[in-house]
Chain A
Amino acid sequence: MSGLPSELLAAVSRDFPADFLSFDAADLVTYGRDWTQVLTPRPVAVAFPRSTDEVAALLRLCSAHDVAVVPSGGRTGLAGGAVATNGELVVSLTRMRRMDPVDVLGATVRVQAGAITEAVHQHTAPEGLTWPVDFASKGSSQVGGNIATNAGGVKVIRYGLTRQWVLGLTVVLASGEVLELNGALEKNNTGVDLRQLFIGSEGTLGIITEAVLKLTRVPEKLDVFLFAVPDLAAVLALFREARKGPFVIMAYEFFTEKCLARLRRHRNVKTPLSAPSDYYVLLEVERGAPDELEAWLTSLFERELVTDGTQAQHSAQAADLWTLREGISESLSATGLPHKNDVALPIPELTGFCAELEQFFEASYPGWEIALFGHIGDGNLHVNVMKPDDLSREDFLAKTHEADHAIFALVQKHHGSISAEHGIGLLKKDYLRYSRSPAELSIMRAIKRALDPRNLMNPGKILDP
């Protein structure tokens, strides 16, 4: 029935609730993978702890019996970081979704790692506060996974990454030892900040079970605009204007008509502009002085920086405009097989990088469908290469794998990152050296060995020890 050691199974049935472990085939597939479609999940079982104590007890058992574990949250990752391909035990935090009352004075809230991102938003909103970590998958993604992947999203330009919004962590190490890191302190200058080690560690150093989240006030009224622009250079030109605009930018996103076409194939979406355009920009700003905003908008049209545009007239229209951007990733996967790259460049390098990227696509993927979108205000491009219908899945994966080396060499040349926000997981592991020096890699390995000497925590992810 299972490949787990019988002593471990006996201990589990003695010390844990009856529904703690699942061997159900559907559960193995569901909890054994994330949003990536290219890897086959093969976990041995799925554990569903309800508390930090249960996680600690389980990891003590796993450590005693040399059982590797894969921590699992909302499974919306795009780099294979939560995929169990090798008979590991998946530890799903799904049942750990308790949220404590909001500390209004400190503007913090303590939650278990399985709390859904959107549930945290709803939980804190009545106090006028929010956790400003926000992205398309907020309805499924969990706090623990967000932290373990240092998730980005659509509001990074305004608020920064998840890392900025975590005060305290409860972490269970491979040995079962529980660390309480930093409590709920904003200031704590007492040596190396161990909390930061676990943020972005993708479950390779320990399992995050609880977190104290830092909150901020819910923004004032927001204005959402959609602009039509002719090309990528115009996307960047408009960004220069937005930086100087009379408002605080909350989000500056772009996508192409090809992305929108995929969205239309997958679901019924609104068509806000009268004519299609090759490139679109979605701009969200905190409402400022209306007259200055109007003057700014007028000048965009006068200088022909945009060809068309609209502004949401109420929150339902704003949601419709956001759907055009946030629905893309899901629709690409629903209508085909995308090969995803998520690269970051210093903003001044974007123009040069994109020009070379286009040449590269023409040479390597003549006629292939490239769906380009992303948080361009953060220098972050999502490059999605769609599998052509006449190419087999294996040939497609082989071809893109090979081409990635060329793309990442280009990223390296322009001083960028091969993974802006998706993480490394399994899919980007072979390319880590394009973004990290040998000295850095060797320090990362040393940390891994110190915290997880037997390589039981999410083995094979990010790098090998």
Chain B
Amino acid sequence: MKILVPLKRVADPDNANKVKIPAAGDKIETTGLEWKPNPFDEYALEAALRLTENGQTPKVRAGEVVVVTFGPKETEQTLRAALATGADRAIRIDTTDDKLDGDLVARALAALIEKEKPDVVVMGKQAVDGDSNQVGQILAELLDWPMATFAATIKEEAGALVVSREVDGGVATMRVKLPAIVTVDLRIVAPTSVYSTKTAATFKYNDGVRFAALPAIMAAKKKLLVEIKLADLAADQALKVEYKAFQAPPARKAGIKVKDVTELVTRLKNEAKVL
């Protein structure tokens, strides 16, 4: 199985206090930010690796995992880390972060998919910076492929994937024929969430995404990483979404101490109005 995994780097959410907005409020200051892969994209990569291996022998890849990102040269670091973790090949679509929206990314990905012809695109349900949650859905529409969003488990069958999605009050399970788009949610990296046809049903993965082994990190430097100009995939680079203004959330007020339960209840009733 050949899997395409789109990756996005995001400002490290653990360093949210470093996010600065200039007085004009027209953008987010990106200098000095620490970057890390969007967590849902890391989960997508982990799911793709699990789908292309026997869990018992994770160093042998059955099929191909291709990772792709949009951005300037520095974003190759994100791709190298993915190659070290187990991806076979990487593509960087050269552009800058502020010239993208979900629609343009989806159109460029659709053009790339025409060339690459993957069996499945596994991607994060959304990026934790913009929280747009659009690219997977637009992409499925553009390609007219079946789509399974918010996947919590994936099981490979011949020519299809059985995907469970957590929905209000239960789990919806669907079978999507390949080729297909799957966007993943956080439970996809639980020990028994993803099974390829090679992995025994009794096998349990470690919880979470795998770390890159040192020999693989070094080998990753020799793996193929190609650059494609955005213009070669999308002639029309007009954006449909324009950000008008940014503003920091209001600072949290200091807490107070209450004397006893009676005062707590009174304040919850009269001030917080939650009772």
Contacts and interface: CB of A to CB of B under 8 A. Distances in A.
A309 B218 CA distance: 12
Interface string A248-288: 00000000000000000000101111100000000000000
A317 interface: yes
Contacts of A308: 213-214
Given A268-B207, A270-B211, A309-B213, A314 B36 contact: yes
A277 to B, nearest CB: 13
B229 interface: no
B60 to A, nearest CB: 13
A398 interface: no
Given A315-B34, A316-B36, A310 B218 contact: no
Size band of the interface chain B makes with A: 20 to 34
Contacts of A273: 211, 213
Interface stretch (A25-33, A172-180, A294-302): A294-302
A311 interface: yes
A273 B206 CA distance: 10
B84 interface: yes
B211 A294 contact: no
A13 B214 CA distance: 64
B208 interface: yes
A52 B198 CA distance: 69
B14 A314 contact: no
A309 B81 CA distance: 15
B81 A313 contact: yes
B221 interface: yes
Contacts of A297: 214, 218
B12 A311 contact: no
Interface string A329-354: 00000000000000000000000000
Nearest to A291: B221
B255 interface: no
Contact of A316 (B12, B207, B217, B221): B12
A431 interface: no
B212 interface: yes
Residue of A301, A306, A313 with most partner-chain B CB within 10 A: A313
A225 interface: yes
Contacts of B81: 313-314
Nearest to B213: A310
Contacts, number: 60
B213 A314 contact: no
Nearest to B218: A294
A161 to B, nearest CB: 29
Interface in B219-247: 221
B206 A271 contact: yes
B72 interface: no
Contacts of A314: 12, 34-37, 81
A312 to B, nearest CB: 8
A225 B215 CA distance: 12
A300 to B, nearest CB: 8
B58 A274 contact: yes
A294 B221 contact: yes
Contacts of B14: 315-316, 319
Contacts of B206: 270-271
B214 A311 contact: yes
Contacts of A225: 214
B207 A317 contact: no
A412 B15 CA distance: 46
A311 B206 CA distance: 18
A316 B42 CA distance: 12
A184 to B, nearest CB: 29
B271 to A, nearest CB: 24
Nearest to A308: B213
Contacts of B35: 314
Given A313-B84, A314-B35, A314-B81, A301 B12 contact: no
A271 B207 CA distance: 8
A103 B214 CA distance: 42
A279 B43 CA distance: 29
Contact of B214 (A268, A309, A316, A317): A309
B215 A301 contact: yes
A139 to B, nearest CB: 15
Nearest to B205: A271
Given A315-B34, A316-B12, A310 B221 contact: no
A313 B216 CA distance: 12
A268 B189 CA distance: 14
Contacts of A271: 206-208
A272 B215 contact: no
A315 B218 contact: no
A273 B35 CA distance: 24
Contact of A298 (B15, B207, B212, B218): B218
Interface string B59-83: 0000000000000000000000100
A314 B217 CA distance: 13
Contact of A274 (B12, B213, B218): B213
Contacts of B210: 274
A311 B212 contact: yes
Nearest to A268: B207
Contact of A270 (B84, B208, B217, B221): B208
Contact of A317 (B15, B58, B211): B211
A73 B209 CA distance: 39
B74 to A, nearest CB: 13
A271 B35 CA distance: 23
A217 to B, nearest CB: 16
B81 to A, nearest CB: 4
A73 B73 CA distance: 48
Interface in B16-35: 34-35
Contacts of A311: 212, 214, 217
8 contacts: A226-B211, A270-B207, A298-B218, A310-B214, A311-B217, A314-B12, A314-B35, A315-B12
What are the nearest 7 A-B pairs in CB distance?
A: A309-B214, A313-B81, A272-B211, A314-B36, A271-B206, A310-B211, A311-B217
Given A226-B211, A294-B218, 20 more contacts: A227-B214, A271-B206, A271-B208, A272-B211, A273-B211, A274-B58, A294-B221, A301-B214, A301-B215, A309-B213, A310-B214, A310-B217, A311-B212, A311-B214, A313-B212, A314-B37, A314-B81, A315-B15, A316-B14, A319-B14
